[in-house]
Amino acid sequence: MSEYVAPLRDMQFVLRELAQVETLSSLPGFEDATPDLAEAILEEAAKFATNVLSPLNISGDREGVRWDDGEVYTAKGWKEAYRQFIDGGWNGLSGDPTYGGQGLPRLISALVEEMWNGANTSFALCPMLTAGFIESVALCGTDLQKQTWLPKLVSGEWTGTMVLTESQAGSDLSAVRTRAVPQADGSYRLHGQKIYITYGEHDMTDNIVHLVLARTPDAPEGVKGISLFIVPKFLLNADGSPGPRNDVRCMSTEHKLGIHASPTCVLAFGDNAGATGWLVGEENRGLEYMFITMNAARYSVGIEGIGLSERAYQRALRYARDRIQGTEAGSGKRERVSILRHPDVRRMLMEMKAYTEAMRALACVVGAAIDVSHAHADAGVRAAKQKFVDLMIPVVKGWSTETAIHVASIGVQVHGGMGFIEETGAAQHLRDARITAIYEGTTCIQALDLIGRKVARDGGTTIREMIMAIHDVEVRIRNRNDEQLTAIANELSRSTASLEIAVDFIVANYGSDIRKTAAGAVPFLELVGIVAGGWQMARAADVALTHLASGDGDKTFYQGKLLTARFYADHILPRSEALAHCVVHGADAALAMHDDAF
Amino acid sequence: MSEYVAPLRDMQFVLRELAQVETLSSLPGFEDATPDLAEAILEEAAKFATNVLSPLNISGDREGVRWDDGEVYTAKGWKEAYRQFIDGGWNGLSGDPTYGGQGLPRLISALVEEMWNGANTSFALCPMLTAGFIESVALCGTDLQKQTWLPKLVSGEWTGTMVLTESQAGSDLSAVRTRAVPQADGSYRLHGQKIYITYGEHDMTDNIVHLVLARTPDAPEGVKGISLFIVPKFLLNADGSPGPRNDVRCMSTEHKLGIHASPTCVLAFGDNAGATGWLVGEENRGLEYMFITMNAARYSVGIEGIGLSERAYQRALRYARDRIQGTEAGSGKRERVSILRHPDVRRMLMEMKAYTEAMRALACVVGAAIDVSHAHADAGVRAAKQKFVDLMIPVVKGWSTETAIHVASIGVQVHGGMGFIEETGAAQHLRDARITAIYEGTTCIQALDLIGRKVARDGGTTIREMIMAIHDVEVRIRNRNDEQLTAIANELSRSTASLEIAVDFIVANYGSDIRKTAAGAVPFLELVGIVAGGWQMARAADVALTHLASGDGDKTFYQGKLLTARFYADHILPRSEALAHCVVHGADAALAMHDDAF
């Protein structure tokens, strides 16, 4: 069984040549984050991913989790791996040094997170949710709350959850009904049932701390009546150690298509006296707080998609190298060859590779922008970067996850019949990837966020700035007078023109006809993803040509980079025009359809 | 748990208004196959699908099959359902009346087959493989073989299999190594191990008859040294009843992503004295015979894709009607609505519906052509139709299955988080659909067949005839001066132009640079599927407008038909241009890539 191997060479390329990691160390607080340190961390993380997490991926999938009378037992080896994970300091990589974190740039931790997800998505979900808890409490909690919870969560000694969904409140969180009744001592008692709680119960740590959306008794209806609470599994003793059991209980775990080793829990709060919780920030502002940190979680789910795509690609490539079948078409030779020699297998692998590299490059550029938006000394620079980050979060989330499903499905196909056999492992990647386009906001939710808050609200200003940046790259690579780069520039130009048409349409119509723009929101999101990915691939091709022209570096790598960008331009960028057509012309039939005619 | 409901209204529409079922009853042998009989059969089949097969679909998936010491036990209820299936005469619907079949047109049995697959794909595989056996032996067997085996297989008293694959011989059947040694009595003794044998062993009938590819001792190497053998599980007594056990044994069943209730067997032939078999036709012509019937099997797998798409659509639609979530965007109302009212959910459902109807219409038009190619009195008409059928078989197979995966994945998405929970049933359709693009020849194999034997070999003549027929439809609907039909005509025109460019490229380059055309074979297949599907949707829109103009028939249905065709034109046809671009320009990067650069 081959294990995950982190794509260090490509990660180094993206870090240094596309995301300019060296500029981050000039930001206040990131002085130590030099390129060399970044690479040293990636190398260590790569070992952990290959040696500790990857070997548990298939076994965890097969074994799943076991629920027994409210307790949840993770798969064999899970506890030990988690212990090694926190002992290695991996949990707090980008955490605030005030609470014991290492304060490294998001750019670096994003690549590390890609490794965790590539090696073992079910495992990686646990620290991801903990990070969501940490960010919320760090931004909105009281000093006492921070001191009480954050050190243990940053270290990973305890884990955190995000407890939002109820059976009647999925995409529409305004329908949350869980009640929180204030008590004389300033705490609240919570009553209600929550579903889809990732790592809502498990046996890896001696406490679990939930961040729960609920309504106080006099709260207004809808989104403006929801508050956020900290509700630990075990209440704390005076010395901060876990004390009595709180009134929260895991009623069951779900039987899912994928991520079998990640417990997805139904949690009952307050079946007895009520679960004790503490308000975070002000009453009725819970959704607002949650959305601040949801952005971080959505970015992380985008990274999941990239990790899964890389893993699916690696497995398919390994199989394509090893599997001998058929002769080489057109060669006249009778000797059998590895299927990597077959044109269609090459096309499939190139599509997997091109998408994965484009998604990684885009996510890293956004990751570096997150760092600048947090740490830059100049408030104007911070604000400008924040607008770019806000624009791209739904794209990194929505595009990278939908694409991951597509890439993982191609990975199955490369294996032929073996792809359908579970022992091969290719099918698991498809099963695991399928959730990423659903949780932390479905692709539709991302797309509505994109067209509404991120594009229409500022009249298209931010996205048009991005389009200008893409034009600049297009002009730069065209001026190099290289055949490959000119071909890439041509497709980038056409697809950017399609994007502009779609942006104009969204900006012109969102205010007057939201249903018409909403029907094209998902095609629009895919369009933005494809063009933004093409932008990064064009930059990569530009860098690669420079290395090839000067003769420095690994020629095979840079030629491969150039050809992968060319493939992206020939196979993926041309999809833009049809997507723009869907955005502009595609709504009428779907909206005009009589409900009974479906 | 909602059960499958056959889409009788749409099937009637396709039968009468697109596939012209009434013309079939003028063909020799099909005199009884009137439209009214066809509809009566569909109504009865619909009941069987809903009442008998559909209730076993989820339970069969969960229970799977059980292997125990060479015996395979199907899931609870399977034996009884199979008994009802053959007692109802369903197995021999299109079977030769000489052997007890009902001799009905393929067009009709195709729609019935769609129902079996929509209700329960794992079950439907058993009669499908039996049909493959029947067709091979009917075409290539001796009279004695036909008399011995066909009556019991046409009735379904025994089942048949197709035994091709070995671990080193998947897509490349020339690598088959199973040996067949001639005996003095005219029989052969077979030795070898075969994999991926659908219903290779089960407990539903008292005999199973295998059709096995193997090599005789002096056979030439490669494709021209493979012969075809009949190898029953039980040898027959003199009275034709099952007698002694033959030397064939099921070694294991596979643990698969989907179709859990269909036993996928490893079969060992001749672990002891050798499995007794009888040659079908002449030695060394086995692959040739197998390919004759493979076309029928490939058509059936295309039908599987359509059945699964319909089922995924029905389940998603039901959920979208029932699930209340959010308010209606732009309405200003605060009341919560079913998610069917949300524009993106409508877009997803329309995409599922449009693809499914286009695939069904195309498969039925091809089904009617199969009937004409078999039964028409005029040899010239038969030959012309056969060319069209040959062209379209890889498209019906490849396009309908790849699209089914896409449609089933959308079905998961419509359900949001519930889609990922196995109990919901949506995920099973995705898991089941995933195999259809792999077995009976992967999409790549279909696409190579398409560009080579079906397009390049006749210099593009047959496909250009189809393109002419599409042009005729385009002109006809444009001349109706209706806004919807004009929009459809415009997109059909653009996409057909893209197809012509791609055809020209394949015809010009296949002979001189097979690798270059092969790299674009799968995009080409998808392009042909999309345009041919658009052709049928345009015809459907034309018919619908006539009914709407004259005011006869169900207005909601025909308006829905028109809008679905319009949606297909706006969302699906525009993909053609990018696909043609891949065909013409997309090969270079994939082929130039150094193997080490992947």
Subunit contact A324:B435, Cβ cutoff 8 A: no
What single-letter DSSP state applies at residue A552?
-
pLDDT at A503: 98
Interchain CB contact of A583 with B (< 8 Å): no
Average pLDDT of A295-321?
A: 97
Of the residues A412, A413, A451, A525, the best mutation for testing chain B's interface (the one with the most B CB atoms within 10 Å of its CB) is A413
- Residue pLDDT, tens place only, A99-143: 999 999 999 999 999 999 999 999 999 999 999 999 999 999 999
pLDDT reading at B294 higher than 90: no
pLDDT reading at A473 higher than 90: yes
- Residue pLDDT, tens place only, B437-460: 999 999 999 999 999 999 999 999
pLDDT at A292: 80
CB nearest B519 (choices: A344, A447, A520): A344
A-chain residues near B322 (CB < 8 A): none
Subunit contact A577:B574, Cβ cutoff 8 A: yes
Is B113 annotated in the active site? no
Q: Output the 3-class SS for A396-451.
A: HHHHHHHHHHHHHHHHHHHCHHHHHEHHHCHHHHHHHHHCCCCCCCCHHHHHHHHH
Cβ–Cβ contacts within 10 Å for residue B474, how many? Answer: 22
Question: B281 — alpha (psi -120 to 50), left (phi > 0) or beta?
Answer: left
pLDDT reading at B425 higher than 60: yes
Interchain CB contact of B333 with A (< 8 Å): no
pLDDT reading at B557 higher than 60: yes
- Residue pLDDT, tens place only, A433-452: 999 999 999 999 999 999 99
pLDDT over 70 percentage in chain B: 100
pLDDT at A294: 86
User: Which of these is catalytic: B135, B166, B440, B491?
Assistant: B440
- Residue pLDDT, tens place only, B20-79: 999 999 999 999 999 999 999 999 999 999 999 999 999 999 999 999 999 999 999 999
Query: What residue in B sits closest to A327 (Cα-Cα)?
Result: B172
Q: In angstroms, how far is CA A273 from the centroid of its own chain? A: 38
Subunit contact A257:B196, Cβ cutoff 8 A: no
**Model ipTM?**
0.97
Q: What share of chain B is helix, strand, coil (3-state, %, to 5)?
A: 60, 15, 25
A-chain residues near B589 (CB < 8 A): 350, 563-564, 566-567, 570
Subunit contact B343:A258, Cβ cutoff 8 A: no
pLDDT at A198: 98
Nearest CA to CA, how far is B273 from chain A (Å)? Answer: 30
| Residue ranges with strand state E in A141-220 | 159-163, 179-182, 188-198, 208-214
Which residues of B, range 23-82, sit inside 8 Å of A by Cβ?
A: none
Q: How far apart are CA A458 and CA A452, in angstroms?
A: 9
Subunit contact A325:B412, Cβ cutoff 8 A: no
Q: Mean pLDDT for chain A?
A: 97
The answer to whether the Cα torsion of A38, A43, A46, A52 is positive or negative is: negative
Nearest CA to CA, how far is B173 from chain A (Å)? Answer: 9
Q: How confident is the model at residue A293 (pLDDT cuts 50, 70, 90)?
A: confident
Q: How confident is the model at residue B2 (pLDDT cuts 50, 70, 90)?
A: confident
A-chain residues near B519 (CB < 8 A): 343-344, 346-347
B-chain residues near A430 (CB < 8 A): 257, 434
- Residue pLDDT, tens place only, A584-595: 999 999 999 999
pLDDT at B145: 97
Subunit contact A342:B582, Cβ cutoff 8 A: no
CB nearest A329 (choices: B346, B515, B577): B515
**Residue linked to tokens 């011995």:** B148
Interchain CB contact of B361 with A (< 8 Å): no
A-chain residues near B332 (CB < 8 A): none
Q: Is there a contact between B198 and B264 (Cβ–Cβ < 8 Å)?
A: yes
CB nearest B196 (choices: A324, A417, A577): A417
B236: phi then psi, degrees, rounded to nearest 5: -95, 145
- Residue pLDDT, tens place only, B319-377: 999 999 999 998 889 899 999 999 999 999 999 999 999 999 999 999 999 999 999 99
Which residues of A, range 490-529, sit inside 8 Å of B by Cβ?
A: 513-516, 518-523
pLDDT reading at B1 higher than 80: no
Q: How far apart are CA B261 and CA B57, in angstroms?
A: 8
Interchain CB contact of A391 with B (< 8 Å): no
pLDDT at A567: 98
- Residue pLDDT, tens place only, B564-589: 999 999 999 999 999 999 999 999 99
Subunit contact A326:B171, Cβ cutoff 8 A: yes
pLDDT at B354: 98
- Residue pLDDT, tens place only, A503-545: 999 999 999 999 999 999 999 999 999 999 999 999 999 999 9
Of the residues A125, A194, A346, the best mutation for testing chain B's interface (the one with the most B CB atoms within 10 Å of its CB) is A346
Q: Output the 3-class SS for A80-140.
A: HHHHHHHHCCCCCCCCCHHHCCCCCCHHHHHHHHHHHHHHHHHHHHHHHHHHHHHHHHHHH
Closest CA to A533 of A478, A580, A572: A572
Subunit contact A254:B564, Cβ cutoff 8 A: no
Subunit contact A344:B595, Cβ cutoff 8 A: no
pLDDT reading at A1 higher than 80: no
A471: phi then psi, degrees, rounded to nearest 5: -55, -40
Interchain CB contact of B374 with A (< 8 Å): no
Q: Is the pTM of this model over 0.90?
A: yes
